[in-house]
Amino acid sequence: MKKIEKEIKNNNKYDNEQYQAKLKKSNERTLALIKASIDTVVAVGLLQLAPEKVTPRVTGAFGFVSSLISCYQVLASC
């Protein structure tokens, strides 16, 4: 990303197709990392490894958010 930004110094970086592709890929990876973290919390809740901190309500909320992210990823790829 930095290398591409240096190459197109004065031009608008959002007009560059290569920069757009890298930015999109970076955003997809970040979203996947966030979803994986949320799924980890859901797994801990379902296995009851930390029953005092991860209650069923927390597990449900994180599961709901994880499902929303999955739906967004599917719809974004269409």
**Whole-angstrom Cα distance, residue 76 to residue 14?**
19
- Output the pLDDT for position 20: 81
- Output the pLDDT for position 32: 96
Read off the pTM.
0.79
**Whole-angstrom Cα distance, residue 61 to residue 45?**
11
Q: Where are the domains of the chain?
A: 2-77
State the 10-residue block means of pLDDT for the chain, 78 residues long.
68 74 91 97 95 94 97 89
- Output the pLDDT for position 34: 97
- Output the pLDDT for position 13: 66
